[in-house]
Amino acid sequence: MRVLPLETTLTYGPLFSRRLGRSLGVNLLPFDRKVCSFDCVYCHYGHTTVHTAMGRDLEIAATFPDMGNVLRAIETALRRYPHVDALTFSGNGEPTLHPHFPAIVAETRRLRDALAPNMKLALFSNATTAHLPHIQAALRDFDLPILKLDAGDPATLARINHPAPGVTLGTILAGLKVTRNLIVQSVLIDGNVSNIKGEAFEAWVTALDAVHPTAVQIYSTDYPVPDTGVERVPPYVLKRIANEVAERTGLRIEAFWW
């Protein structure tokens, strides 16, 4: 199935985000391949080209954008668009895999404070590195650390997210539990694999309750996906799930759709 093309610039947008408003994107990943510790069945960028949880590996690290170029692009974007709502690290895979992620984030925070102090600094991450001390330190610089949790059991994690070797549900949950101001994002899907019913759904609710984030954002697929067996969850089901999970856990659950 046709999927969206990869980002080919260090910054992109501003784009309208249903969760963040007008958002400037930051892409710390290579332009010609998707580098990620997941290979999610619903990813609108298609299948992962470099499937790894080790961005600091010398061979892989050499393919990432140069830190100086990244920071110059971010400064240019902040000067050009100082009034957008958010500057969001996302891009062609998992942004925290960049070998200089903490240093880039720290300098971006300084630039944001100087040039666009009202802009939120946001991150979309799959949480596979959140247990690492140097990543945890960087996460504290974000106003909106939005980290993924699609599954509460290893079998569903394997079927939906296809984690890279070394990534376990235990390490993901450990990282989520110690992330300050955590916002969890969960993509809910049905079809050949589902996290909206049965044991998979119950395990996800239990995991959310254990992590206890400040908020949970749920949504489904709106773009083309690489796996034709993925079925979109309609808005009325998302609303029902949001109400049920909020009732059972006391968490703030927000459902999003176009």
The DSSP call for residue 130 is T
Omega into 30 within 30° of 0, i.e. cis?
no
* pLDDT of amino acid 18: 84
Spatial CA neighbour of 45 closest among 90, 76, 84, 77: 90
* pLDDT of amino acid 228: 82
Q: Do the beta carbons of residue 58 and residue 122 sit within 8 Å?
A: no
Q: Give the whole-angstrom CA distance, residue 13 versus residue 24.
A: 5
- pLDDT tens digit at each of 258 positions of the chain: 467 899 999 999 999 988 899 999 999 999 999 999 999 999 999 999 999 988 666 677 778 999 999 999 999 999 999 999 999 999 999 999 999 999 999 999 999 999 999 999 999 999 999 999 999 999 999 999 999 999 999 999 999 999 999 999 999 999 999 999 999 999 999 999 999 999 999 999 999 999 999 999 999 987 677 788 899 999 999 999 999 999 999 999 999 987
Residue 185 backbone phi and psi in degrees, to 5: -110, 135
Q: What sign for the dihedral angle of Cα 251, 254, 255, 256?
A: negative
Using DSSP bridges, classify how beta strands 183-187 and 144-148 pair: parallel, antiparallel or unpaired.
parallel
Q: Position 125: which residue type? A: S
Say which CATH architecture domain 11-255 belongs to: Alpha-Beta Barrel (3.20)
- What would the two tokens of residue 83 be? 């009034």
Q: Give the whole-angstrom CA distance, residue 1 versus residue 212.
A: 36
Q: Give the whole-angstrom CA distance, residue 113 versus residue 109.
A: 6
Spatial CA neighbour of 256 closest among 146, 182, 157: 146
* pLDDT of amino acid 55: 67
Residue 212 backbone phi and psi in degrees, to 5: 50, 65
